[in-house]
Structure 1
Amino acid sequence: MALPKYTVPSLTPEQGAEVAAVLQGRLDALNDLALTLKHIHWNVVGPHFIAVHEMIDPQVDAVRLMVDAIAERIATLGVAPVGTPGALVKNRTWDDYSIGRDSAIAHLGALDVVYVGIITSHREAAEATEETDPVTNDMLIGHLHELELFHWFVRAHLESVGGALTTGSSSTEKGSAKKAGAKDDV
């Protein structure tokens, strides 16, 4: 990445470029999350359809606002944000969402895994910017508040009365979807 010709006061161009690079990763991940959430919204079926269908759209809207805030922060740092689909696919380090038309609970099982990845990476980005750029760090922490809330909404559908997740210890989308979806087959 080329150094910006300017950045925010108190940061060097090198620091501005470093923070922008961290944010570009978050921009890609959140753009992907917004698309994944819409995919889920369109492909949920079964007895929990309407609850999940209606729960997802406000998450999409909030994530799109996060995307805009991150892109504008990158521009404020003097770097051009890249939001094209080709760049997202080229830069991502994760696989495409793997569940098609399936039960709402199966999708929530897979979405649990997606949120774990998003939140973990967002926390890493917050830590990476904590000392260099408190403004960016504050923005990321604010996003974490919402992302963790949405994750709780997902997990509330997957939790037994005893507090265990129906996904068990599965750490893959398909594995979590299968375990959570088994609850629908009972």
Structure 2
Amino acid sequence: MSNVKIAEFTAPGMKDNQAIETIAILDDRMVALIDLQLTLKHIHWNVVGPNFIGVHEMLDPQVEAVREMTDTIAERIATLGGVPVGTPQSLVDRRRWQDYSVGKGLVTDHLSALNKVYDGVNEDHRKALTKLAETDPVSEDMVIGQLAQLEQFQWFVRAHIESSTGELKQ
């Protein structure tokens, strides 16, 4: 997002170039989290089969937590002088990954696909941390807290698809 513009003011003590770089990193994470919350809700509506109710009920708290993460990032973008844009077309235009492909499906199908979604989101959050360590420790700290929750959510998903041998079912 090289055309990031900042408002007249950014956070005190932060240089404009630091703010621009931080906003771009946070914008990418915001898009990913909006996509994740919509994907989680899609799964919630379309999961069927054995263990349906446990998975169905596990997903709503994840949706709410990811929604809160998204709001926190959007507000940080605004704090730094950026403009958080979360309109549907702008999200589609900025995303770098394929759309979630499972429609109505069994628990194992959805959770295996969701595990891959979490792989991407969590890996990209970790990459963002490396960059944020150089530009903004406040944003870095925020993303660290989010990553801890996201990794726990992935653990919940993996617990449902792990075989008795400790390997993930694909």
TM-score past 0.5 threshold: yes
Q: Report 1:156-167 matches (<5 A).
A: 156-167=159-170
Counterpart in 2 of 1:55? Answer: 58
- Confirm or deny that 1:142 pairs with 2:126: no
Distance (Å, rounded) in 1 between the aligned partners of 2:99 and 2:134: 33
Q: 1:75 aligns with which of 73, 78, 84?
A: 78
Contact kept, 8 Å, 1:48 with 1:105, in 2: the verdict is no
Counterpart in 1 of 2:122? Answer: 119
When normalised by structure 2's length, the TM-score is 0.96
Contact kept, 8 Å, 1:159 with 1:166, in 2: the verdict is yes
Distance (Å, rounded) in 1 between the aligned partners of 2:53 and 2:138: 38
1:85-142 CA-partner distances (Å, limit 9, x unpaired): 1110000010110000000111000000000000001111111101221000000000
Counterpart in 2 of 1:7? Answer: 10
When normalised by structure 1's length, the TM-score is 0.88
Letter in 2 for 1:11: M
What SS does the aligned partner of 1:6 have?
Answer: coil
What SS does the aligned partner of 2:134 have?
Answer: coil
- Confirm or deny that 1:44 pairs with 2:63: no
1:5 Cα deviation from its structure 2 partner: 1.6
Counterpart in 2 of 1:107? Answer: 110
Identity %: 56
1:55-83 CA-partner distances (Å, limit 9, x unpaired): 00000000000000000000000111111
Contact kept, 8 Å, 1:34 with 1:63, in 2: the verdict is yes
Contact kept, 8 Å, 1:46 with 1:104, in 2: the verdict is yes
Contact kept, 8 Å, 1:44 with 1:107, in 2: the verdict is yes
Letter in 1 for 2:141: D
Which structure 2 segments of 5+ residues have no match? Answer: none
What SS does the aligned partner of 1:131 have?
Answer: helix
Letter in 1 for 2:53: I
Distance (Å, rounded) in 2 between the aligned partners of 1:5 and 1:122: 28
Contact kept, 8 Å, 1:4 with 1:17, in 2: the verdict is no
Kindly tell me the number of residue pairs found equivalent between the two proteins: 167
Alignment RMSD (CA, Å): 0.8
Contact kept, 8 Å, 2:21 with 2:135, in 1: the verdict is no
Distance (Å, rounded) in 2 between the aligned partners of 1:44 and 1:3: 42
